[in-house]
Structure 1
């Protein structure tokens, strides 16, 4: 199942991105990019969600820019306006809830990878309409979720050998969620590196961990968005 580049509009704001819709409709899921931008890998993840019965939208947070250079990706990530991004994500939440294909589903899910993982946490704290949040090894130094406002359960999936999201960082996130009495489940995959889910990067992709993580994500969304 293949989606298409399109735009969603809500709250007097139009957000470009990639939309993939199953024939039978289903709950909405927001797919948030890594620091590379809205690249084919993220579009493929949206298509996988549609195949699983979810109306998936991946917003283009860099407004058309994307890169394969780590240096350029870092610059794009750090230049991201967090306030504007929060406004975009709120519009996407409302647009997905209003989409005919999500009729009957009062909550949406959010999932993000790397930079997108941290933004998924942030979005879930800002939007009570988000009913489930998945964080794949999320990191962004300028994104500070207000966990006091979090109402969605969180699934956190991390890599043992992650030099960006270290075991100490995961422990810190766990501590913050515990302090606020939030519902979460974390798993760290042994022998894996940051971005182990990205099958377009053979130097870090870990097929077994990615397969298990995808199964965990689908079970998590089924339990919380159905």
Structure 2
């Protein structure tokens, strides 16, 4: 018997979204922000020609799922066109990279839906979208200063999926900023998340935190990524294996940060194509 998905934790997290005071950035947070600024320096979130259409027709719409500080937050949801609006489908919470919920992330959300899922892209920036690295750093830093609010956002997305559609298999997937939050979502909502995919996100190496993981984890990283230390990725992998967790880590030698991003200048076709194949196989294995 599965543990009930929505508990008092969800209500507490939602309250935290509206009441938590920003905390000072830790040295580790500042170091990570500096690293991401370095990796994205000089780029813009401009489509780089790698966008692909979903494998089947999909329908998509904005969905209101959270009231944060009196502001209605809207996500973006896509599903196969041949299914009803309230159809019970395996679902994926999609978390944008550091620029925000822009058209590139919407495209990837539709592409995931084309694999037969209800894909629900959250908005971690409450309607704001960055157009340059400086704005992205500010928005990402704001979420890092209020991690309880970030978790409240993800918990609200899960609750929305369950209450509207009865989804009983839910995965979580994100890139860059969203890759780190994908892992955090799986660690903090172990009873809700059935599979987690993190693309070049911030690793966790603390054993007590990693012990909370229940969902299978797929991590996809670039060997030439200067913002995500591969040594930390390998340390996370080793600790998870010691804890007998289901973890698969793939490192693409020569690929940099954001190798699968459909915007910017870091796209690596070989790594992006292989990681997508691994992602779809992983999700099918654990969500269907």
- Fold match (TM-score > 0.5): yes
Aligned counterpart in structure 1 of residue 275 of structure 2, from 210, 213, 221: 213
Residue 6 (1) aligns with residue 68 (2): no
Query: Which one of the candidate residues 75, 78, 87 is aligned to 1:17?
Result: 75
Following the alignment from structure 1 to structure 2, what is the Cα–Cα distance between the partners of residues 140 and 15?
Answer: 27
Corresponding residue for 1:99? 164
What TM-score results when the alignment is normalised by the length of structure 2? 0.71
In structure 1, the gaps of 5 or more residues are none
1:66-85 to 2 correspondences below 5 Å: 66-80=129-143, 81-85=146-150
Where do 1:188-207 residues align within 5 Å? 188-201=251-264, 203-207=265-269
User: Distance between the aligned counterparts of 1:123 and 1:117, measured in 2?
Assistant: 10
Q: Runs of 4 or more off by more than 3 Å in structure 1?
A: none
State the Cα deviation string for residues 36-76 of structure 1 (Å, max 9, x = none). 11111111111001111110111111011111211221121
Q: In 2, distance between residues paired with 1:149 and 1:121?
A: 11
Does the Cα contact within 8 Å between 1:7 and 1:15 map onto a contact in 2? Answer: yes
Return the alpha-carbon distance in structure 1 between the equivalents of residues 63 and 200 of structure 2.
28
Name stretches of at least 5 consecutive residues in structure 2 with no aligned partner: 1-57
Q: 2:122 aligns with which of 35, 40, 59?
A: 59
CA distance in 1, matches of 2:156, 2:246: 25
CA contact (8 A) 1:124 1:150 kept: yes
* Alignment deviations for residues 153-201 of structure 1 (CA, whole Å, 9 cap, x no partner): 0000000100111211211221332343211001011221100101222
Separation (CA, whole Å) in 2 of partners of 1:64 and 1:119? 18
Cα RMSD (Å): 2.3
What residue in structure 2 maps to residue 224 of structure 1?
286
Q: For the structure 1 residues 20 and 42, does the alpha-carbon distance in structure 2 shift closer, same or farther, using more than 3 Å as the test?
A: same
**TM-score, normalisation: structure 1:** 0.89
**Higher relative contact order (Cα pairs below 8 Å, separated by 6+ residues):** 2
- In the alignment, is residue 28 of structure 1 matched against residue 91 of structure 2? yes
Q: How many residues align?
A: 219
Aligned to 1:135: 198
2:180 paired with 1:118: yes
Equivalent pair of 1:122/1:145 in contact (CA under 8 Å): no
Query: Hey, what's the Cα distance between the residues in 2 that align with 1:145 and 1:163?
Result: 26
Partners of 1:176 and 1:191 lie apart in 2 by 25
CA distance in 1, matches of 2:244, 2:208: 15
